[in-house]
A and B are shown apart, each in its own frame.
Chain A
Amino acid sequence: MKVALFATCLVDTMVPQVARATAALLERLGHEVVVPPGQSCCGQMHVNTGYRREAVPIVANHVRAFAGAEAIVAPSGSCVASIHHQQAAVARRAGEHGLADEAAALAGRTYELSQFLVDVLDVTDVGAYYPHRVTYHPTCHSLRLLRVGDRPLQLLRAVRGLDLVELPAADQCCGFGGTFAVKNAETSTAMLTDKMANVLSTHAEVCTAGDASCLMHIGGGLSRLRSGTRTVHLAEILASTEEAVSPDQSTRPAVSA
Chain B
Amino acid sequence: MTGVFLGLPTAPRGVGHLRGDRSFPDAARDSLRDGQLRANLGHATATIRGKRAAVVGEVPDWAELREAGRAIKAATMARLDDHLVALEEQVTARGGTVHWARDANEANEIVTRLVQATGADEVVKVKSMATQEIGLNEALEAAGIAAHETDLAELIVQLGEDKPSHILVPAIHKNRAEIREIFLRTMPGVDPGLTDEPRKLAMAARAHLRERFLRARVAISGVNFAVAETGTLSVVESEGNGRMCLTLPQTLITVMGIEKVVPTFRDLEVFLQLLPRSSTGERMNPYTSLWTGVTPGDGPQEFHLVLVDNGRTAVLADDAGRSALHCIRCSACLNVCPVYERAGGHAYGSVYPGPIGAVLSPQLTGVEDNASLPYASSLCGACYDVCPVAIDIPSILVHLRGEHVEAQSRTTPEAVAFRALSTAMSNPRLWRLAQRAAGLGRFLARGRPTLPAVLPPPASKWTRTRDLPTPPKETFTQAWAREHGS
A-side residues, CB < 8 A to B, are 7, 9, 11-16, 19-20, 23, 35, 37-41, 43, 46-55, 57-58, 60-61, 65, 86, 140-141, 143-145, 171-173, 175-192, 194, 216-217, 219-221, 223-224, 252-257
Contacts and interface: CB of A to CB of B under 8 A. Distances in A.
B188 interface: no
A48 B379 contact: yes
Contacts of B99: none
A37 B476 CA distance: 10
Contacts of A65: 428
B421 A46 contact: yes
A191 B471 contact: no
Contacts of B462: 181-182, 185, 220
B379 A177 contact: yes
A58 B426 contact: yes
B32 A190 contact: yes
A224 B466 contact: yes
B426 A61 contact: yes
B213 interface: no
3 pairs of A and B residues whose beta carbons are closest in the complex:
A177-B378, A220-B466, A50-B401
A65 B477 CA distance: 13
B29 interface: yes
Contacts of B406: 50, 53
A16 B475 contact: yes
Given A183-B25, A183-B375, A140 B435 contact: no
Given A178-B379, A186-B25, A37 B477 contact: yes
Contacts of B467: 219-221, 223-224, 254-255
A19 B471 CA distance: 15
Contacts of B377: 177, 180
Contacts of A224: 453, 465-467
Given A54-B418, A55-B422, 20 more contacts: A12-B476, A16-B472, A35-B476, A43-B425, A144-B380, A144-B382, A173-B378, A175-B338, A178-B379, A180-B377, A182-B461, A184-B24, A185-B25, A187-B25, A217-B466, A220-B468, A224-B466, A255-B449, A256-B469, A257-B471
A37 B439 CA distance: 18
Contacts of B342: 187, 190-191, 194
Nearest to B420: A54
Interface in B426-445: 426-428, 431, 435, 438-439, 442, 445
Contacts of A178: 378-379
A173 B338 contact: yes
20 contacts: A12-B475, A12-B476, A13-B439, A14-B471, A38-B428, A39-B428, A52-B402, A61-B428, A143-B381, A144-B381, A144-B382, A177-B377, A179-B375, A187-B376, A190-B342, A220-B469, A223-B450, A252-B449, A255-B467, A257-B469
A186 B32 contact: yes
Given A46-B418, A187-B343, A40 B428 contact: yes
A35 B475 CA distance: 12
Contact of B474 (A16, A38, A223, A253): A16
B426 A60 contact: yes
A189 B463 CA distance: 11
B480 A141 contact: no
A171 to B, nearest CB: 8
A9 B469 contact: no
A246 B223 CA distance: 63
A11 B476 contact: yes
B465 A191 contact: no
Contacts of A173: 338, 378, 380, 382
Main secondary structure of the interface of A (DSSP, over half): helix
A14 B468 CA distance: 10
Contacts of A54: 418-419, 421-422
B229 to A, nearest CB: 37
B465 A185 contact: yes
Contacts of A180: 375, 377-379
B2 interface: no
Nearest to A18: B476
B464 interface: yes
Contacts of A15: 469, 472
A172 B375 CA distance: 18
A223 B463 CA distance: 11
Contacts of A172: 338
Contacts of B339: 184, 187, 191
A48 B398 contact: yes
Given A14-B469, A46-B418, A255-B467, A7 B461 contact: no
Contacts of A47: 398, 402
B456 interface: no
A219 B466 CA distance: 8
Contacts of A40: 424-426, 428, 431
A188 B403 CA distance: 23
Contacts of A181: 461-462, 466
B117 interface: no
Contact of B422 (A12, A50, A57, A256): A57
B422 A58 contact: yes
Contacts of A37: 428, 477, 481, 486
A195 to B, nearest CB: 9
B93 interface: no
A230 to B, nearest CB: 11
B137 interface: no
Contact of B465 (A23, A171, A221): A221
A50 B469 contact: no
B384 interface: yes
Given A37-B486, A55-B422, A187-B28, A7 B379 contact: no
B416 to A, nearest CB: 11
B418 A49 contact: yes
Residue with the highest number of chain A CB atoms closer than 10 Å, among B339, B377, B398, B425: B425
Nearest to B371: A50
Contacts of B481: 35, 37
Given A23-B480, A61-B426, A50 B378 contact: no
A51 B381 contact: no
B454 to A, nearest CB: 13
B385 interface: yes
